[in-house]
């Protein structure tokens, strides 16, 4: 009864003989997994002629060989065969550990003559007479010899079994037939192992090609005369080379239309190709497939590092060009540089102002400035000192977070309206001088919230400070509180009527060092860490921060905080 080849069904063999209604293997398929390899096809053709010759010389009606499949621990017949139908070839397979004729010859390495397949126990176990009409047989192992380079010894490996069946005229095979078959089997083994090595090389090459094709970095190989040997999918995409456009064998500069990249490749080819050549290029990369098809997504400018390395065989035969996306690295470097210059600027501005007012007061030995003018100077100095303290606090917090320190909260019952009043009082002079009014709107019954008071003050200071900063035309700035008793959270909303945040930037404003760089905001000083800290501090309280904004109309930031912090879980002990 035919059995399926499904793994769970492999035991469905009778006496070590397995049958399967699937198409037969060929030596090409057995060694290459497909018939696609032309080289393996040639091996198969030569092997077919050899099998026919063996049958003719031994005056046999049938000749077939089985190859060892280590993965399945079985011997299976493969095409080409002589005197067997393809289906019979597929049916002829046996477990290595069974007591069939094929297994016996394979395991012992001995030849075998069977003069009556109907009575020989090994032939019977394999069903040779019953299933294939075999009467007599001579069988030899298929062996390959390999020289071990280091020990100079010869290693013999058995790769299968060669059977010749049914001598013409009904005679039995004899020892001369064994000798003849043994010598001819060597040619067959050499051919088969040649096909196997060829297949391994082809497979290795194909794996390498698919690895290169699947790389997310761009990869181009050019020979020393400037002709392309390989372009992977990523490189095609980046260099805008249509999939249908043939590249192999073309001159690189007729395929790659990027002057800087071509000049880097030319330098690598013309100069000393032994050395690595590198450079940086900017590419306009089309939007990916996963981008929203409806949205208008423009190609983005990305920075690529180009690295040309020699393609070494016995000698340098070309160059490998690798395109690596370094946009993010360059972006972070740019942001860090901008951050350093921003911080220096932010520190210098209040210091210049403090120094100016202190110098004025010191120089006023004649009492030119009256008490109220002096008071005004002191208030400005005081506000500038606060600004410096805030900046330094931000920097300290940032560095703590950067170093991976967990945010330590000093928890108490915080009266948030009181904190908000403090923040508003501190920022009122700056706000008023900018034409903004600060308004507080908290319900009377606003509950105490378990939180770190200093950190809440820092959150509000940053949000109110931004509201003032990004409302150049002034307007009302509200700090409002909302209580949601059903979920046990409070919300603090800071609303302004300032410049707003453009849609394309809104998702990024909470990123470290991120600043909106446009006409409206460019001249406003800042470091790009305020909102990052607001987010980190809110999350440290198991809360979050959200933003809604409309360019030209204003922005609302909402910080949501639980009224009580979740308790760490302790395991009960008795």
Using CB under 6 A as the criterion, which residues of the chain lie in contact with ligand ADP when the complex forms? 462, 466-467, 470, 496, 498-501, 509, 514-516, 521, 526-532, 555
Smallest distance, ligand ADP to C-beta of residue 222, A: 45
- Transcribe 10-60 into DSSP letters: TT--BTTB---SSPPPBHHHHHHSSS--HHHHHHHHHHHHHHHHHHHHTTE
Per the CB < 8 A criterion, the answer to whether 323 and 238 are in contact is yes
Phi, psi of 50 (to 5 degrees): -65, -45
Q: Which is nearer to ligand ADP, 103 or 462 (CB)?
A: 462
Smallest distance, ligand ADP to C-beta of residue 513, A: 8
Q: Which residues of 308-335 are buried (b: 16+ CB within 10 A; e: fewer)?
A: bbbbeeeeeebbbbbbebeeeeeeeeeb
Residues 383 and 429: their CA atoms lie apart, in Å, by 8
Q: Which is nearer to ligand ADP, 427 or 555 (CB)?
A: 555
Smallest distance, ligand ADP to C-beta of residue 361, A: 30
Q: Which is nearer to ligand ADP, 250 or 338 (CB)?
A: 338
Smallest distance, ligand ADP to C-beta of residue 461, A: 11
Residue 549's DSSP bridge partners are 555
Going by their DSSP bridges, the two strands 554-562 and 489-496 should be labelled as: antiparallel
Residues 139 and 107: their CA atoms lie apart, in Å, by 13
CA distance readout (Å), 9 to 4, 5, 54, 228 = 6, 6, 36, 49
Q: Which is nearer to ligand ADP, 21 or 507 (CB)?
A: 507
Residue 26's DSSP bridge partners are 79
Smallest distance, ligand ADP to C-beta of residue 491, A: 17
Smallest distance, ligand ADP to C-beta of residue 288, A: 27
Phi, psi of 289 (to 5 degrees): -65, -30
Smallest distance, ligand ADP to C-beta of residue 535, A: 9
Residues 343 and 525: their CA atoms lie apart, in Å, by 9
Helix (H, G, I), strand (E, B) or coil at 512: coil
Q: Which is nearer to ligand ADP, 126 or 496 (CB)?
A: 496
| Length of the chain counted residue by residue | 574
Smallest distance, ligand ADP to C-beta of residue 277, A: 40
Per the CB < 8 A criterion, the answer to whether 116 and 135 are in contact is yes
Q: Which is nearer to ligand ADP, 282 or 518 (CB)?
A: 518
Smallest distance, ligand ADP to C-beta of residue 372, A: 33
Nearest-CA neighbor of 32 among 176, 274, 225, 203? 203
Q: Which is nearer to ligand ADP, 307 or 427 (CB)?
A: 427
Per the CB < 8 A criterion, the answer to whether 257 and 281 are in contact is no
Q: Which is nearer to ligand ADP, 212 or 499 (CB)?
A: 499
CA distance readout (Å), 105 to 93, 122, 139, 437, 463 = 14, 10, 7, 99, 85
Identify the burial level of 502 via C-beta atoms within 10 angstroms of its C-beta, where 0-12 means exposed, 13-18 middle and 19 or more buried.
middle
Smallest distance, ligand ADP to C-beta of residue 563, A: 26
* Residue that has been written with the tokens 């062996």 in this structure: 143
Per the CB < 8 A criterion, the answer to whether 521 and 464 are in contact is no
Q: Which is nearer to ligand ADP, 164 or 467 (CB)?
A: 467
Nearest-CA neighbor of 76 among 153, 1, 137, 161? 161
Smallest distance, ligand ADP to C-beta of residue 436, A: 11
């Amino acid at each position: 009864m035919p059995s399926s080849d499904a793994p769970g069904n492999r035991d469905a063999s009778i006496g070590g003989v397995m049958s399967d209604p699937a198409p037969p293997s060929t030596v090409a398929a057995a060694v290459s997994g497909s018939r696609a390899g032309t080289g393996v096809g040639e091996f198969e053709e030569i092997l077919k002629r050899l099998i026919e010759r063996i049958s003719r010389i031994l005056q046999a009606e049938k000749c077939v060989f089985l190859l060892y499949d280590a993965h399945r621990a079985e011997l299976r017949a493969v095409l080409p065969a002589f005197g067997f139908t393809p289906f019979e070839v597929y049916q002829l397979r046996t477990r290595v550990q069974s007591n069939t004729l094929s297994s016996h010859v394979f395991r012992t390495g001995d030849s075998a003559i069977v003069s009556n397949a109907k009575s020989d126990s090994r032939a019977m176990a394999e069903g040779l007479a019953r299933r294939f009409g075999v009467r007599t047989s001579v069988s030899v192992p298929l062996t390959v010899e390999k020289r071990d380079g280091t020990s100079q010894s010869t290693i013999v490996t058995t790769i299968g079994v060669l059977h010749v069946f049914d001598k013409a005229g009904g005679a039995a095979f004899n020892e001369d037939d064994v000798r003849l078959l043994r010598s001819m089997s060597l040619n067959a083994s050499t051919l088969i192992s040649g096909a196997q090595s060829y297949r391994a090389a082809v497979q290795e090459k194909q794996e390498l090609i698919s690895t290169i094709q699947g790389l997310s970095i761009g990869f181009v190989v050019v020979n020393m005369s400037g002709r392309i040997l390989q372009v992977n999918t990523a490189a095609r995409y980046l260099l805008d080379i249509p999939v249908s456009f043939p590249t192999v064998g073309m001159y690189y500069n007729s395929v790659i239309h990027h002057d800087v990249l071509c000049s880097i490749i030319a330098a690598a080819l013309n100069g000393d190709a032994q050395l690595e050549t590198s450079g940086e290029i900017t590419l306009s990369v089309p939007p990916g497939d996963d981008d929203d098809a409806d949205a208008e997504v423009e190609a983005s400018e990305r920075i690529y590092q180009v690295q040309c390395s020699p393609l070494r065989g016995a000698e340098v035969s070309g160059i490998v060009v690798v395109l690596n996306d370094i946009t993010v690295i360059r972006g972070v470097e740019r942001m860090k540089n901008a951050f350093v210059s921003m911080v220096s600027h932010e520190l210098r501005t209040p210091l210049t102002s403090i120094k100016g007012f202190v110098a004025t007061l010191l120089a006023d030995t004649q009492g030119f400035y009256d008490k109220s003018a002096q008071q005004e100077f002191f208030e400005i100095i005081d506000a500038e000192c606060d600004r410096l303290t805030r900046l330094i606090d931000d920097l300290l917090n940032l560095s703590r977070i950067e170093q991976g320190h967990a945010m330590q909260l000093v928890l108490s019952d915080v009266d948030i309206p009181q904190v908000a009043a403090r923040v508003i009082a501190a920022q009122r002079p700056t706000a008023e001088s900018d034409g903004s009014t600060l308004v507080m709107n908290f319900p009377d019954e606003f509950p105490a919230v378990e939180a770190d008071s200093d950190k809440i003050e820092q959150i509000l200071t940053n949000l109110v400070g931004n509201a003032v900063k990004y409302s150049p035309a002034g307007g009302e700035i509200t700090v409002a509180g909302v209580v949601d008793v059903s979920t046990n959270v409070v919300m603090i909303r800071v609303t302004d009527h300032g410049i707003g945040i453009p849609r394309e930037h809104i998702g990024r404003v909470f990123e470290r060092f991120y600043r909106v760089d446009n006409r409206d905001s460019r001249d406003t000083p800042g470091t790009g860490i305020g909102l990052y800290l607001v987010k980190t501090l809110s999350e440290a309280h198991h809360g979050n921060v959200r933003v809604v904004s409309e360019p030209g109309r204003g922005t609302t930031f909402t910080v949501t905080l639980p009224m009580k912090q979740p308790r760490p879980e302790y395991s009960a002990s008795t």
